[in-house]
C-alpha cells in the first residue's frame, strides 16, 4: 500500500507532465490543493517536499512553490507470479511496493501460470505497457531460462538451491531450511514424520520435497511412502485435503512438514475439526512465516524467509541493473531462520498478538 502523500505527489507529477502546471509557473497554494484533492494540508505539504527533493518543485520563501522542471514519467516495475492470492505473495508485494516507491517508481502485479505460452504472452503484455523491469517470482526449472526476452531487465526470486546462471537472482536455500525443520521435530520428541505438499510452483515444492526426503534419510526419524502426501488443490483447501488423507490411514506420523504456511494452516484446522490435538498428538511445521502464522489459533512453527529483505534486495538488484545494463549478474542468497511456536509444542499456547509474540523463538 502506498502512502497517501506519494499518491498526491504522483497526481502533481502527472499534471506537470501533461502541462497543467507549466515550467516556472506557481503551484496552487496548499489550502487550494488540499481542498481540490480531498486531503489534509499536511499530506499536500509532504507531497511537495518529496517533489522538492526530486528537483521537480522549488519553494521560494514569501513567493510560493514553483515548477522547476518537467516531471519524468514514473518508471513501471512489474512483479510476475503464479497464484498471487497466496499470502506469501501478498507479504512480498507489500514490501516490494515500498521499495519500488522509494525509487519513485510504480508497481504492477501480473498473475501468470506455469505454462510457457501463457507466461510469454503475459511478458509481451507487460512490455507493451512500458514496463522497465520485472521481479520474477516464479519457479525455476530447465525450461524457464528461455521464457523471457533479454531486452527487459529481470530479477529472479527463487530457491538458492536452483538459481539460474548468468541472471540477477535472490533467494534462500530450501534444503538447509527443511533440514532445520526435521532436526527440530526430532528434538521435540517426534519419531515418525510425513510431508504435505502442494501444487504451488512445482519446482519449489519439488525442491522442498527432495530436501525433506534427504533430511529424514540422514536422521533417526522414520517415514513411509503413504505419509508423503501431495495434492493438486492449492493453499488452505489443499491442507484440508491432505489431512483427510492422513486421517484415513490406520497408522499416522507424529509430525508433518508442510510445503508452506498456507498449506499448514488448512491441515491444522482440519485436524482440530476432527479432534486431533495439535501439538499434543500431531506436530506441524510450515514454511514462509507469513504474517498470519504467528496469530493463528495454533501459532505456527515455520521457516522465516526474511520476505521484507528478499523484496528489498530484489528491488535493489533491479534498479542497479537499470542503472548499469552491462554490470555482472549478482546472486544473493538470504538468511532464513527457524521460528519455533506452539504447533510443535514449544513456546506459548496463548492466542492473540501478545501470546503469539511471547511464544516466538528464533534460531538461525
Reported as a single tens digit per residue, the pLDDT across 172-216 is 999 999 999 999 999 999 999 999 997 644 556 788 999 999 999
Length of the chain: 364
228 CB contacts (<8 Å, ≥6 apart)? 194, 195, 197, 209, 212, 213
Q: How far is CA 362 from the centre of its chain?
A: 20
Name the residue among 206, 192, 111, 194 with its Cα closest to residue 158. Answer: 206
Superfamily for the 75-172+307-333 domain: Response regulator (3.40.50.2300)
- Mapped onto helix, strand or coil, the DSSP state of residue 18 is coil
CB 215 within 8 A of CB 209: no
Which helix (H) or strand (E) segment holds residue 332: the answer is strand 331-333
Q: What is the pLDDT along the chain (364 residues), one digit of tens a residue?
A: 457 888 898 899 888 888 899 989 999 999 999 999 999 999 999 999 989 887 889 999 989 999 987 666 668 999 998 888 889 999 999 999 999 998 889 999 998 876 777 778 888 888 888 899 999 987 655 445 455 556 789 999 987 666 667 789 999 999 999 999 999 999 999 999 999 997 644 556 788 999 999 999 999 999 999 999 999 888 899 999 999 999 999 999 999 999 999 999 999 999 999 999 999 999 999 999 999 999 999 999 999 999 999 999 999 999 999 888 889 999 999 999 999 999 999 865 544 434 444 456 555 4
Q: What is the CATH number of domain 4-67?
A: 1.10.10.10
| Grid coordinates belonging to 109 | 502485479
- The ranges assigned to domains in the chain are 4-67, 75-172+307-333, 175-305+338-363
Same fold, 75-172+307-333 and 175-305+338-363: yes
177 CB contacts (<8 Å, ≥6 apart)? 211, 287, 303, 336, 338
Q: What is the CATH number of domain 175-305+338-363?
A: 3.40.50.2300
Amino acid at each position: 500500500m502506498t502512502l497517501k502523500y506519494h499518491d498526491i505527489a504522483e497526481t502533481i507529477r502527472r499534471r506537470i507532465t501533461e502541462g497543467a502546471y507549466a515550467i516556472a509557473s506557481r503551484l496552487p497554494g496548499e489550502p487550494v490543493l488540499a481542498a481540490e484533492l480531498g486531503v489534509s494540508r499536511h499530506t499536500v505539504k509532504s507531497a511537495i517536499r518529496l517533489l522538492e527533493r526530486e528537483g521537480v518543485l522549488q519553494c521560494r520563501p514569501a513567493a510560493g512553490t514553483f515548477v522547476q522542471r518537467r516531471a519524468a514519467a514514473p518508471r513501471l516495475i512489474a512483479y510476475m507470479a503464479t497464484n498471487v492470492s497466496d499470502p506469501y505473495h501478498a507479504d512480498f508485494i507489500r514490501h516490494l511496493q515500498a521499495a519500488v516507491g522509494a525509487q519513485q517508481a510504480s508497481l504492477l502485479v501480473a498473475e501468470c501460470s506455469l505454462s510457457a505460452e501463457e507466461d510469454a504472452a503475459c511478458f509481451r503484455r507487460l512490455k507493451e505497457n512500458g514496463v522497465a523491469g520485472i521481479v520474477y517470482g516464479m519457479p525455476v526449472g530447465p525450461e524457464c531460462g528461455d521464457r523471457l526476452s533479454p531486452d527487459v531487465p529481470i530479477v529472479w526470486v527463487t530457491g538458492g538451491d536452483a538459481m539460474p546462471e548468468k541472471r540477477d537472482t535472490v533467494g534462500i536455500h530450501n534444503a538447509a531450511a527443511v533440514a532445520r525443520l526435521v532436526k527440530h521435530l526430532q528434538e521435540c520428541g517426534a519419531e515418525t514424520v510425513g510431508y504435505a505438499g502442494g501444487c504451488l510452483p512445482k519446482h519449489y515444492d519439488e525442491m522442498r520435497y527432495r530436501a525433506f526426503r534427504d533430511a529424514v534419510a540422514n536422521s533417526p526419524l522414520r517415514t513411509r511412502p503413504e505419509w508423503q502426501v501431495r495434492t493438486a488443490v492449492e493453499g488452505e483447501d489443499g491442507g484440508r485435503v491432505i489431512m483427510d488423507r492422513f486421517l484415513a490411514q490406520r497408522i499416522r506420523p507424529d509430525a508433518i512438514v508442510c510445503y508452506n504456511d498456507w498449506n499448514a494452516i488448512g491441515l491444522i484446522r482440519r485436524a482440530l475439526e476432527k479432534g486431533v490435538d495439535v501439538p499434543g498428538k500431531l506436530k506441524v511445521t510450515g514454511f514462509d512465516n507469513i504474517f498470519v502464522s504467528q496469530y493463528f489459533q495454533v501459532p505456527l512453527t515455520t521457516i522465516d524467509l526474511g520476505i521484507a529483505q528478499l523484496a528489498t534486495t530484489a528491488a535493489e538488484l533491479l534498479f542497479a541493473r537499470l542503472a548499469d545494463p552491462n554490470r555482472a549478474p549478482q546472486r544473493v542468497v538470504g538468511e532464513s531462520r527457524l521460528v519455533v511456536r506452539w504447533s510443535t509444542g514449544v513456546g506459548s499456547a496463548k492466542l492473540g498478538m501478545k501470546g503469539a509474540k511471547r511464544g516466538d523463538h528464533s534460531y538461525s
